[in-house]
Chains A and B, each alone.
Chain A
């Protein structure tokens, strides 16, 4: 089975940095994803980690520690448009089958 935990809500200030944590327990880990979802819109892909370490992409970075079952998404130089839900997701692989399982999401509010 699988379990993905992330905070329900976070608030941060425009221009600041925020870190959204995600912990997971899965029987067949094969990659971790972060998606962004603005209210009323479809989720969009942000990042993918399969090996330990930090992946940087512009203002966004994602970190993975497989031994700890832990990831975080780091958002720098926050902008008002970053107000959205951030979804942590894990690919669970077993035998020849796999599926991507999502956490409940972290709703991030940016204040001026």
Chain B
């Protein structure tokens, strides 16, 4: 069974641009969570989607948004990029909302110049 797939793995953007990251969960997993990981802050919860609905949201500005499609694939978007948005963005899937085990993808490393 394929794991969680995130694309792209690496990307470089400049301030003010926007970026879209994609996450394909494990087959049969219906919940997708997104986290931002930086050396200083660790993993910070962004949001979780289940059945195409955002179920919970972390403390990030409105520039961070996401969505989930009917096949459970998810995307997150960051608009008007800032230098501080440089981070590893991790997606994790689980069988259902509130499930105990998260399986993480390898992440998308975003560098904002």
- B41 near A45 with CB under 8 A, answer no
B100 and A48 contact, CB distance less than 8 A: yes
- For the complex, what is the distance from the CA of A103 to the CA of B98, rounded to whole Å? 19
Distance (Å) between the CB of B108 and the closest chain A CB? 11
Instruction: Kindly supply a per-residue 1/0 record for chain B positions 8-43, scoring 1 wherever the CB is within 8 Å of any chain A CB and 0 otherwise.
Output: 000000000000000000000000010100000111
Chain B residues, CB < 8 A from A63 = none
Check if B45 sits within 8 Å of A99, measured CB to CB. Answer: yes
Of residues 54 to 112 in A, which have CB atoms within 8 Å of B's CB atoms?
Answer: 87, 89, 91, 93, 97-105
CB distance from A112 to the nearest CB of B (A): 27
Contacting pair A45 B103 (CB below 8 A) = yes
Interface size on B, residues (CB 8 A): 23
Given known contacts A101-B45, A102-B42, is B101 in contact with A45 (CB within 8 Å)? Answer: yes
A103 touches B45 (CB 8 A): no
Q: A42-B107, A45-B101 are in contact. Are A104 and B42 (CB under 8 A)?
A: yes
A33 lies within 8 A of chain B by Cβ = yes
A100 to B4, CA, bound (A): 18
Residue B102 lies at the interface, judged by CB distance under 8 Å to chain A: yes
B104 contacts A42, CB within 8 Å? yes
Please, how many angstroms separate the alpha-carbon atoms of A79 and B45 in the complex? 31
Residue of A nearest to B103 (CB): A45
Task: Name A105's contact: one of B42, B90, B101 (CB within 8 Å).
Answer: B42
| A residues neighboring B (CB under 8 Å) | 31, 33, 41-45, 48, 87, 89, 91, 93, 97-105
Residues of B near any A CB (own CB < 8 A)? 4, 33, 35, 41-45, 48, 55-56, 58, 90, 97-98, 100-107
Given contacts A43-B102, A100-B102, 14 further A-B contacts (CB under 8 A): A42-B90, A42-B107, A43-B43, A43-B90, A44-B104, A45-B101, A45-B103, A91-B98, A97-B55, A97-B56, A100-B45, A102-B43, A104-B41, A105-B42
